[in-house]
Structure 1
């Protein structure tokens, strides 16, 4: 990432990890998407981009940030049972629609369905993220989309634990900090 900020991949969902590219509270607010190149790098790290690019399309960061804001609003409104405008998501889905083909797979002697990016424009690059949001909104229980319970963390995650009692974005960071703080508070109260 050109900003030097390591993006958190803790959400167990591509769409939520994309939303989490902006994180932190107050003066500690960070954004992993600071230019076109940083968006491409995030897509590579998320395994949403496998093709080589000569250079990122101009304006990719603006569309990525607009998409992220629209996605966040759609999740919040869906969780509240309210309507919201999916305009940016729909634009990316429509203009970035992949090309679908069937191809013969000689090793298994069968036809397989294959998808290829339409082109290397911004919408095509961001289309897997938008599609992940559609799957989240239409196929998953949104009550399992949670915000980390740490007071200084705003990261979202998809709780896929068996008991659905996950509380923190990451036990290694926020979970340990919050448990240590609770322990100190109990010890101080005695």
Structure 2
């Protein structure tokens, strides 16, 4: 399947993009459904589609990767990001050497293109021919969070059945839910039922 076909395949169930930061959305490619963990990355195609949803596109001239290579590298980066972000949140000094491996393999070039409103913007395209390079922009987002982020604004949804992460950009920094429409309302409904059953 061509990359362009993968990016427009509506049959693929997508990870939620609720994190308000690319590094948080990386962690949210795993979620919970009941007592099961759902991994939205089940194939190279799923990773490519997620990258495309985040406006990250590999270079047009990309060497063919071995089956599962991108998936394996993406899951390794996600596990590393989880470890680093957890340490950051706990204000511990993490081992950044593995993240630097992704960052050093990220070869990119500026690219001028119109945005969704037709206004020109400069983005960066991955020019490397490795899976690690294709994930370089994601690794860079994790690095930027560690350098520029506020650890107190890195949060996980407070709903007991949810494991999604977000960066709290609200004015008062009191966001509690990955999404008020889902977890917030579910929690409020459960609390209402609990009060009325007493």
Superposition TM-score tier, normalisation by shorter sequence:
0.7 to 0.9
- Equivalent in the alignment of 2:71: 61
Relative to the length of structure 1, the TM-score reads 0.84
Q: Secondary structure at the match of 2:173?
A: coil
* Superposed counterparts of 1:114-133, under 5 Å: 115-133=124-142
Is 1:18 aligned to 2:38, yes or no?
no
2:187 & 2:48 partners in 1: Cα distance? 34
- Number of residue pairs matched by the alignment: 180
TM-score (norm 2): 0.80
Q: For the structure 1 residues 185 and 162, does the alpha-carbon distance in structure 2 shift closer, same or farther, using more than 3 Å as the test?
A: same
**Structure 1 unaligned spans of 5+:** 104-111
Give the equivalent residue in structure 2 for 1:89.
99
> 2:46 is matched with which residue: 33, 38, 43?
38
Moved over 6 A (4+): 53-56
Query: What is the CA distance between 1:25 and its match in structure 2?
Result: 5.9
Matched, 1:28 2:40: no
| Distance (Å, rounded) in 2 between the aligned partners of 1:94 and 1:172 | 39
Residues 1-190 of structure 1 aligned to structure 2 (within 5 Å): 4-24=12-32, 27-49=35-57, 51-52=59-60, 57-58=65-66, 59-99=69-109, 115-189=124-198
Structure 2 regions of 5+ residues with no counterpart? 1-5, 113-120
- Report which of the two structures shows the higher radius of gyration computed on alpha carbons: 1
- Which deviates more, 58-67 or 88-97? 88-97
